[in-house]
Amino acid sequence: MDIDFPLVLVILVFGSGLIWLFDALALAPGRRRALVALQQELPDWQREGSSEHKKYLRRSEEVAREPAAVEYAKSFFPVLLVVFVLRSFIVEPFQIPSSSMVPTLQVGDYILVNKYTYGIRLPVVRNKVLDINQPERGDVMVFFPPHMNDTYFIKRVIGVPGDVVSYRNKRLTVNGQAIPWEHLADFPDGGKRYRVASEKLGGQDHLTQIDAFRPAGDFDITVKPGHYFMMGDNRDNSADSRIWGQVPEKDIVGKAFAIWMHWDSFFSLPSFSRAGRIN
């Protein structure tokens, strides 16, 4: 079962904050009054070395002691709040779980996603409260696919609203313009031959990979208003908009912009050799 981490984080932040607030408004005044009453009961409490001073120190610790839940809430709330703001509105880390974006992204890459470049959205409910930019062709985007509204996917934006996207013999055409494609290398893998090429989409070069032994899967499609057509860079090994349809604007999470670490498995050492900007 997948854990809804954004929801858990919201609950922890607001829960700890409410406990702190409840203590400040309802419980802390009572502790302060009890401390004043103790001082009045022991008028010599300020004279060090006196019996009343020693008694005051012992009893005041009990009178002023915060409940354990309040202590934990006051300790964790600032940290949780910082994590909540960073993760919800600025930058969120993700791990690449599949090979659908090879060769751009490898399984085990840890990436950073800009959460505000496409607009500020409320966590959990995902409502946009501030519009900033719109996705562009060629962006590597994280989103919730139409068929799995609780799982993050990452693909490349191939078509924006109104675009006519065609795929013929594993070459892309957008609005009648063939997307520049330059073959770079072939290599065998498990009896298959993969072809790596440089593709220029949205004015920026990126790598793609195709399996020369798989059918092309030609198609023509017009991108609906408020939707985006997504494809993986590993064109013949990617479940994307060709299978489950176009992505509505409301399901956008953010723009992937950097690899910060690569970690194959728990039993291997993390590597920073792949750290850098995502094209």
Among the listed residues 16, 88, 115, 155, the single catalytic one is 155
Cβ atoms of 170 and 271 within 8 Å: the answer is: no
Give how far the C-alpha of residue 70 lies from the chain's centroid of Cα atoms, to the nearest Å: 30
CA distance 216 to 171: 9
Cβ atoms of 179 and 200 within 8 Å: the answer is: yes
Neighbours of 148 (CB within 10 A): 12
The position carrying tokens 């997307």 is: 179
* Residue 231, helix vs strand vs coil: strand
* Residue 69, helix vs strand vs coil: helix
Give how far the C-alpha of residue 235 lies from the chain's centroid of Cα atoms, to the nearest Å: 24
Residue 155 falls in the annotated catalytic set:
yes
Distant-in-sequence contacts of 70-75, Cβ < 8 A, 24+ apart: 70/19, 70/20, 70/23, 70/27, 72/16, 73/15, 73/16, 73/17, 73/19, 73/20, 73/23, 74/20, 74/23
Amino acid at the residue 186: D
Residue 271 falls in the annotated catalytic set:
no
Among the listed residues 100, 170, 238, 241, the single catalytic one is 100
- Known catalytic residues are 100, 155
